[in-house]
Structure 1
Amino acid sequence: KGRPRQDGGPLGAQLLGRRLGAPIGTQRVLGGDGDVPILTTKDNIVSQPAKILNFLRKQKYNADYELSARQGADTLAYIALLEEKLLPAVLHTFWVENDNYFTVTKPWFASRIPFPLSLILPGRMSKGALNRILLTRGEPPLYHLREVEAQIYRDAKECLNLLSHRLGTSQFFFGDMPSTLDAYVFGFLAPLYKVRFPKVQLQEHLKQLSNLCRFCDDILNSYFRHSLGDG
């Protein structure tokens, strides 16, 4: 509870749910992460994006059944790359960068959880994000936070470049329908692409990669058109 997401985010789980016709909705969880994806079946209620994706596979809702063994291996490799190279900078952008945190992330998050948790949980999430970044990146020779920040943004931009190169002119990463990799990439990129931040270092780099922006727009228009709003 209170731990920053690290599994592709709720949009990724909702994308696969809509793509496969699985019963995923959103639910406001008191004391939890605010609006999170919830999969409800006759016998189960499953939350958290990664757990939902695993549950869908076990229930034969498999977006990857047409992938080759090589493509399946590539999926795992790119997901690992996202979590190692892109996630730290995304966490920093949302939860550690002061201007973004105090003007965007904290007010949005606090508005979705009840008082007095709204006074406590955003700060806990911010500290958790910083601790995760320092735990994975704050080792020699990167002793200082400023050095860590510079490195994680270099890594993230390199990761975005690799994703852009891999996607090329294709609509999705494999074939003509979203797969698990598309869900993970979309879950990371869509919030970064759409949220209006005061500090936009990583966002600016993403917006220079037109195929990744088109990828996000196509999925939003195809699978989230009726739920797009200002919130």
Structure 2
Amino acid sequence: MNSDETYHLDVWKGDWGLPSIDIHSLQILAYAKFSGVALAVNTTCNPFTTPNGQLPVLRNDINKLDSIQDMVKFLKTKNFTPDSSLSPKQCAEIVSYDYMLKEKFYPALQFVWWLDHRNFTELIRPWYSKAIPFPLNFYYPSQYEKRARTMVELLFPNEDAMTVIESKLYSDAQKCMTLLSTRLGELDYFFGSKPTSMDALIYSYLAPLLKAPLPNPALQNHLKACTNLVKFVSRVSQRYFEYDYQEYEKIKAKENEEKHSRTDSDNEFPHKRRDQVFAGIFVTIAMVTYAIFTGIVEVTPKNDNELMDDTEDYLSESYVED
């Protein structure tokens, strides 16, 4: 890229320790990092101003590219690619994994994000409604949900039961994750010690699923069981998106500290109440004793005759009442 050229990359903003919560935004961000290209990244949640109402967008004063394929192709023409050392066979493998993820994994992620009732109502819709500016925050979440539902209906035209569809989608996605886990093995990255476009692709699919605090984590739990994939996501985040990763870790640490503080306070509450009661009794006794000994309060004991008279009076009054 020429020194006089400035390219801006508009992406969905990040959360949960990720530079973006969007698959396609994550893919091009990781690709650019792995390629060593410096882009002016603009995090946004307003796709309305983009050419086709979607993010990410790579732009300069002349061009606006809004598909991953076009962005990657453009960066390659500027000699920015992490795949320069790969063989034709390895490049063909990337194409095959790309196809597999789009066909077998992406639909399941769309279901998790937009069609699972708990995830959508408790996390996804509130997140987008808060992030997207008014009044577009009423429009886009519903559109994305509608788009995901259309995709599922096209994939399963003869199936009406969402539980059956969910089971089939999750089964395919779990098989993909198991295959990826086997393929990665003990390697840092899928082709060895350096990341390539295949790592950018797979990271973009796995990271949002792993990091989102999903109320229904059924598919997420399978990913967490693939420990080498979990380490892979953390490795990429720590090495290439260090700021986002560390800031989120600080937030989590602070939340955990506050949680433990509240728990300790709750555990101490019964003992604190008991100590307060005993302290109050002790202070009261001390004050009364002090008052008696200093003459502030006088206590005159009655003699035996006075006590007998009081008893007779009480008995006579009781007899009259009966």
User: TM-score, normalised to structure 1's length?
Assistant: 0.88
Moved more, 99-108 or 19-28: 19-28
Moved more, 202-211 or 24-33: 24-33
Q: 1:94 to 1:57 in 2, by over 3 A?
A: same
Distance in structure 2 (CA, Å) of the matches to 1:98 and 1:32: 30
Which amino acid is 1:191 matched to?
A: P
In the alignment, does 2:44 pair up with 1:25? Answer: no
1:127: which partner in 2?
A: 146
Moved more, 219-228 or 29-38: 29-38
- Note if contact 1:14-1:24 (Cα within 8 Å) is conserved in structure 2: no
Which amino acid is 2:42 matched to?
A: T
Which of 184, 193, 205 aligns to 1:176? It is: 193
Which amino acid is 1:120 matched to?
A: Y
In the TM superposition, what are the counterparts of 1:1-231 in structure 2 within 5 Å?
A: 8-22=23-37, 23-28=39-44, 29-31=46-48, 36-41=55-60, 43-136=62-155, 138-140=156-158, 142-228=159-245, 229-230=247-248
Q: Greater helix percent: which structure?
A: 2
Q: 1:72 to 1:30 in 2, by over 3 A?
A: closer
Superposition deviation, residue 197 in structure 1: 0.6
Q: 1:131 to 1:205 in 2, by over 3 A?
A: same
Q: 1:84 to 1:120 in 2, by over 3 A?
A: same
State the Cα deviation string for residues 78-125 of structure 1 (Å, max 9, x = none): 010001111111001111101111111111112222111101110110
Superposition deviation, residue 198 in structure 1: 0.5
State the Cα deviation string for residues 4-58 of structure 1 (Å, max 9, x = none): xxx9421111011122222151332352699944434564343444432232122
Which amino acid is 2:30 matched to?
A: L
- Note if contact 2:207-2:233 (Cα within 8 Å) is conserved in structure 1: yes
Q: 1:35 to 1:121 in 2, by over 3 A?
A: closer
Moved more, 75-84 or 15-24: 15-24
Distance in structure 1 (CA, Å) of the matches to 2:23 and 2:95: 13
State the Cα deviation string for residues 124-172 of structure 1 (Å, max 9, x = none): 1011111112212x134x4433221111110000010001001111111
Q: Superposition RMSD on alpha carbons, in Å? A: 2.3
Superposition deviation, residue 177 in structure 1: 1.5
- Note if contact 1:8-1:183 (Cα within 8 Å) is conserved in structure 2: no
**Following TM superposition, where does structure 1 have runs of at least 4 consecutive aligned residues deviating by more than 6 angstroms?**
32-35
Which amino acid is 2:157 matched to?
A: E
SS in 2 for 1:111: helix
- Note if contact 1:18-1:223 (Cα within 8 Å) is conserved in structure 2: yes
Q: 1:65 to 1:42 in 2, by over 3 A?
A: farther
- Note if contact 2:24-2:204 (Cα within 8 Å) is conserved in structure 1: yes
Equivalent pairs counted in the alignment come to 223
User: TM-score, normalised to structure 2's length?
Assistant: 0.64
- Note if contact 2:119-2:215 (Cα within 8 Å) is conserved in structure 1: yes
Greater RCO, CA 8 A, separation 6+: 1
